[in-house]
């Protein structure tokens, strides 16, 4: 059987703030997806923090720190303290692109601000605690096509309106799909995150049988445009939309706060101390991927997390038995987990982590628990 080549391209979590339940849901979703799908397909994860370093969200924060807090020793700060600085930046006046340009240029040459280096150092510790398959996640350097090359490619396929000769913006044109024009390069020449994504994705065209775009629900419009553009360029594209996790009944951006006490550093330690690391890892995945489901109805809750960690411990105990069992404790056949997962994936060709996790927990699913936990969850 020929293995499909699948490129998984999630929107990255910008290393400017602490990891919240929303970030964890996204990270663990594609971690489980990639690990499980790799049993029957060749999976490549495209996830580099350098891709978006030149955007206003990141470069603007770096410029703010150097201008307003030039003497800070970032190595002594926690991710929560850096997150507070990010909130301060978001409340400050927006600076013109001309003042960001030196920082953008340094970022495009591979420079990383000390605040972000500190965040990534802390995140690596979190990834290790969470049992992520890649504790250096996002640390690579992205292959990016030059700006002019991308614009020329898009223009040749009638996917772009290039206003640069007139001092105007560059627009993505997905109007044939009923979508409005979308600015991707400002009149001042500053490329946004959507154009940066295209710079990274276009070099991958033709190398994969499927491009899977994983993104936040709030970015749906942009990713519909991105899907249209990549499809017109010849790629087979699927989208996987993830939702944010409410905190205290509200869905808020990290720049607005509300995450205090709900970061990995804020809640993980006591749960690990009470239940152990393996049960915490599995329980957090079960809670975020299956317990909270696809909607945004239920807020993150430490008591509910602990309930799922207890359930995880029972699953781990069952998986430690002498014979392979399913989630309900029934005996199951072993030896064809890749085939089972491929059938569960169906025509889309990849395993949605929500569907996989709920299937694993279903009575009489027939999925060998011990083997699946080992390869995809813990």
Q: What tens digit of pLDDT does each residue of 79-112 get?
A: 999 999 999 999 999 999 999 999 999 998 889 9
112-to-92, 117, 141, 303, 363 alpha-carbon distances in Å: 22, 6, 11, 38, 48
Alpha carbons within 13 angstroms on the beta-carbon side of residue 338 total: 7
d(CA 290, CA 288): 6
Beta bridge partners of 215: 241
pLDDT in tens, 40-88: 999 999 999 988 999 999 999 999 999 999 999 999 999 999 999 999 9
d(CA 98, CA 59): 12
Helix (H), strand (E) at residue 120: helix 114-130
Q: What pTM did the predictor assign?
A: 0.93
Spans of all domains in the chain:
268-377
Q: Which residues contact 359 (CB under 8 A, 6 or more apart)?
A: 344, 365, 367
Q: How confident is the model at residue 326 (pLDDT cuts 50, 70, 90)?
A: low
Phi, psi values for residue 133, rounded to 5° = -70, -25
């Amino acid at each position: 059987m020929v293995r499909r080549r699948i490129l998984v391209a999630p929107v990255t979590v910008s290393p400017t703030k602490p990891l919240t339940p929303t970030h964890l849901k996204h990270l663990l979703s594609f971690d489980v997806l990639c690990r499980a799908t790799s049993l029957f397909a060749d999976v490549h994860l495209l996830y580099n923090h350098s891709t978006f370093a030149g955007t206003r969200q990141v470069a603007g924060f770096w410029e703010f720190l150097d201008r307003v807090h030039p003497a800070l020793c970032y190595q002594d700060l926690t991710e929560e303290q850096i997150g507070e600085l990010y909130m301060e930046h978001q409340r400050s006046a927006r600076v013109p692109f001309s003042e960001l340009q030196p920082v953008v240029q340094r970022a495009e040459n591979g420079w990383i601000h000390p605040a972000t280096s500190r965040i990534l150092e802390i995140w690596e510790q979190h990834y290790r605690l969470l049992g992520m398959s890649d504790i250096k996640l996002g640390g690579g350097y992205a292959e990016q096509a030059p700006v002019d090359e991308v614009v020329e490619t898009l223009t040749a396929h009638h996917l772009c309106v290039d206003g640069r000769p007139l001092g105007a913006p560059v627009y993505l044109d997905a109007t044939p799909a009923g979508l409005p024009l979308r600015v991707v390069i400002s009149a001042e020449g500053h490329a946004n995150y959507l154009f940066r994504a295209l710079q990274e994705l276009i070099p991958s065209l033709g190398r994969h049988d499927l491009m899977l775009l994983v993104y936040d629900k709030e970015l749906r419009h942009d990713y519909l445009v991105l899907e249209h553009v990549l499809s017109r360029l010849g790629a087979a594209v699927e989208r996987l939309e993830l939702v944010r996790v409410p905190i205290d009944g509200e869905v808020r951006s990290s720049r607005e706060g509300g995450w205090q006490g709900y970061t990995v550093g804020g809640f993980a330690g006591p749960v690990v101390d009470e239940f152990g690391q393996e049960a915490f890892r599995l329980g957090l995945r079960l809670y975020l991927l299956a317990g909270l489901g696809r909607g945004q109805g239920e807020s993150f809750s430490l008591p509910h997390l602990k309930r799922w960690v207890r359930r995880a411990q029972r699953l781990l105990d069952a998986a430690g038995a002498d014979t392979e069992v399913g989630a309900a404790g029934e005996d199951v056949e072993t030896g064809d987990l890749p085939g089972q997962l491929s059938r569960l994936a169906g025509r889309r060709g990849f395993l949605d982590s929500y569907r996989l996790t709920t299937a694993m927990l279903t009575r009489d699913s027939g999925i060998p628990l011990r083997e699946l936990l080992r390869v995809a969850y813990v």
